[in-house]
Amino acid sequence: MEVNIKISKKVFNEVYLPYLDNEDRYLVFYGGGSSGKSYFIAQRYIKKLITPRRCNLLVTRQTGDTNRKSTFPLLKQVINDWNLSKHFKINESDMRIKSLLTGNEVAFAGLDDVEKIKSITFENGELTDIWVEEATECKEADINQLKVRLRGGKSKKQMVLSFNPINIQHWIKKHFIDSKLATVCFSTYKDNKFLTDDDRKALEDLQYTDEYTYNVYGLGNWGILGKTVFDARKIQERLNHLNKPIKTGYFLYDYDGVKITNIKWQNDKNGYIQIYQVPHVPKQTKYCIGGDTAGDGSDYFTGHVLDAKTGIQVAVLKHQFDADLYTKQMYCLGKYYAYKGRENNEDALIGIEANFDSFPIRELQRLGYKNQYVREKIDEYTGKTEKRFGFKTTSITRPTILSNLIQIVREHVDTINDRDTLEELLTIIRNEKGRIEAPEGGHDDQMMGLAIAHEIRNQVVFEKEPIVTEYNFNFKIEKPPVGDYGETIEII
Ligand SMILES: Nc1ncnc2c1ncn2[C@@H]1O[C@H](COP(=O)(O)OP(=O)(O)OP(=O)(O)O)[C@@H](O)[C@H]1O
Ligand SMILES: [Mg+2]
């Protein structure tokens, strides 16, 4: 028997259409509330279930019985809306749905019942699809178990996750989105043509009463919990208007044990350096680079390149690697952003944090890098000031450079181009002792790299532009007044 079923495009919200036949391994639907995510995912599976191709679906949520009130009725609703009841067998007590056209089946389970998940089988063939609804409720370890269940076998497999972006620090963001593991569809209520004006107004009115809820469920932005140090509104606005980096990759070079030569840029979409402006565009300028070294634990090495004149962040390096490789990439960045003088080139000024590990600073020196940030250090024994390379964060310099960064975010957030940096700044809080830091499990390496870069800008010297006067002034030379000027002033 051949059955011909036609589904009009009009029953779908347009934002989801590109994902109707998507076959990528991980597919994420996230965004604001009431955007039609769950409804679309249900529509998509009903279509898949009646298509003559194996699709055995496991629908999961954190707790099993919530399926009975959400995903199970939703799938049944789509079957009814599309007049397909006669082609499905529905078992209410076991919560099973079977397509009579293909033998494809749906089962439901909660991640709280591991044994049940393990024991689920299908009449025709193996498990091919998993939908994790409200996936932010789930533990990362449970999702990893589900990933294992999808492995092996001959058929095409896919995991779909749907959720609201409740917390910018949620594991799900790193795991599926930042890592680029998943194909991502973002939507808000504005994408859902089936909402009434009242529905829309209710969501929009949240902005007057509840900033967090409006941000997450209205705008679909990642939620920020707790009081932030940096101006969250400014950062959020900036995040909504960012451009992608113009290049992503890292540097290749030859190294003979002494010198670095033959530096080349390698494009790589998984690379750890993001370039937002290539050197000297639109015009010749000078650059400075602030670096934060990884301490103990899992922190990253970072490097932030600024146009020293405007403070615009033109490139960012962030990676976990060995200190010597970090130093060599910083070396290459400094050469790439060198000032091209008439007679000589001048390496970009590099200032690396000297607290945990002064290795990169010594290593840059050994490699013959010519322009490192110089700080003054008072010798404990002689009391004399000495000059040292690198930036030292102390109980005085740290709050100073951070309050400067707070002001930059408030007044010049447009100079920050890197999404990861902005997202990190959003998480930074002030602890009970007043110290500005990342919350537990978070990071502050982008913040420190950027703050150091801004601090060392002061040491970038631009040649004075000649002053052109248009008029001749006649100065009357007056007799200097006689008086007490205090100490003699020595002109140096
Ligand atoms: N294609 C559609 N046809 C008819 N109604 C739809 C359609 N898509 C969404 N809706 C309706 O819009 C409302 C919101 O949709 P849905 O619950 O799928 O949103 P959601 O993005 O999953 O929301 P949340 O983030 O709160 O889970 C529901 O009442 C749903 O019935
Ligand atoms: Mg939903």
pLDDT per residue as tens digits for the range 87-120: 999 999 999 999 999 999 999 999 998 888 889 9
Alpha carbon of 34 to ligand 1 centroid (Å): 5
Q: How far apart are CA 396 and CA 415, in angstroms?
A: 25
Alpha carbon of 195 to ligand 1 centroid (Å): 8
Does the pLDDT of residue 172 top 70, yes or no?
yes
Tokens at residue 429, please?
Answer: 């809080």
Q: How far apart are CA 337 and CA 307, in angstroms?
A: 9
CA triplet 407, 410, 411: central angle to 5 degrees?
Answer: 85
pLDDT bin (cut points 50, 70, 90) of residue 296 is: low
194 contact partners, CB below 8 Å, separation of at least 6:
13, 36, 39
- The pLDDT assigned to 488 comes to 46
Beta strands (DSSP E) in 6-70 are 26-31, 57-61
Measured from the CB, is residue 33 less than 6 Å from ligand 1? yes
Q: What is the mean pLDDT of residues 124-151?
A: 94
289 contact partners, CB below 8 Å, separation of at least 6:
303, 304, 305, 306, 330, 333, 334, 337, 348, 349, 350, 351, 453
> Mean pLDDT over all residues of the chain?
90
Measured from the CB, is residue 186 less than 6 Å from ligand 1? no
Give how far the C-alpha of residue 75 lies from the chain's centroid of Cα atoms, to the nearest Å.
34
Nearest to 235 by CA among 46, 429, 449, 410: 410
Q: Which ligand is nearest to the CA of 200?
A: 1
| CB-CB contact of 257 with 264 (8 Å) | no
226 contact partners, CB below 8 Å, separation of at least 6:
429, 439
Give the range among 70-84, 268-282, 338-352, 464-478 with minimum mean pLDDT.
464-478
Of all protein residues, the one whose alpha carbon is nearest to atom 16 of ligand 1 is 36
Nearest atom within ligand 1 for CA of residue 12: 1
Of all protein residues, the one whose alpha carbon is nearest to atom 15 of ligand 1 is 36
Measured from the CB, is residue 70 less than 6 Å from ligand 1? no
Q: Which ligand is nearest to the CA of 78?
A: 1
User: What residues does CATH 3.30.420.240 cover in the chain?
Assistant: 247-459
Check residue 3 and give left, alpha or beta (phi > 0: left; psi -120 to 50: alpha). Answer: beta
| Higher per-residue confidence, 179 vs 490 | 179
Does the pLDDT of residue 478 top 80, yes or no?
no
Return the CATH architecture of domain 9-225: 3-Layer(aba) Sandwich (3.40)
> How far is the CA of 240 from the CAs of 137, 160, 205, 229, 243, in angstroms?
26, 25, 20, 20, 9
Of all protein residues, the one whose alpha carbon is nearest to atom 25 of ligand 1 is 33
Q: Which residue type sits at 405?
A: L
DSSP structure class, residue 391: B
Positive or negative torsion for Cα 163, 169, 171, 176: positive
Q: How far apart are CA 140 and CA 356, in angstroms?
A: 32
SS3 state of residue 315: strand
Token pair 């030379």: residue: 477
Does the pLDDT of residue 247 top 60, yes or no?
yes
Q: Residues 189-243: pLDDT tens digits?
A: 999 999 999 889 888 988 887 888 898 999 999 988 777 899 998 999 999 999 9
Instruction: State what percent of residues in the chain have pLDDT above 70.
Output: 93
Alpha carbon of 397 to ligand 1 centroid (Å): 51
Alpha carbon of 37 to ligand 1 centroid (Å): 6
User: What residues does CATH 3.40.50.300 cover in the chain?
Assistant: 9-225
Q: How far apart are CA 451 and CA 454, in angstroms?
A: 5
Tokens at residue 133, please?
Answer: 């609804």
Tokens at residue 23, please?
Answer: 């076959």
Measured from the CB, is residue 164 less than 6 Å from ligand 1? yes
Q: Which helix (H) or strand (E) holds 274?
A: strand 273-275
Nearest to 219 by CA among 232, 206, 231: 206
CA triplet 100, 102, 108: central angle to 5 degrees?
Answer: 75
Choosing from 194, 200, 214, 219 the residue with most ligand 1 atoms within 8 A of its CB, the one to mutate for a pocket test is 194
- The pLDDT assigned to 483 comes to 45
Q: How far apart are CA 65 and CA 126, in angstroms?
A: 24
> How far is the CA of 388 from the CAs of 138, 304, 365, 396, in angstroms?
50, 21, 12, 18
Tokens at residue 415, please?
Answer: 């100079």
Alpha carbon of 179 to ligand 2 centroid (Å): 24
Instruction: Find residue 28's DSSP bridge partners.
Output: 161, 184
What's the CATH code, domain 247-459?
A: 3.30.420.240
- The pLDDT assigned to 3 comes to 84
Nearest atom within ligand 1 for CA of residue 164: 25
Alpha carbon of 58 to ligand 1 centroid (Å): 21
CA triplet 152, 157, 160: central angle to 5 degrees?
Answer: 135
Of all protein residues, the one whose alpha carbon is nearest to atom 1 of ligand 1 is 12
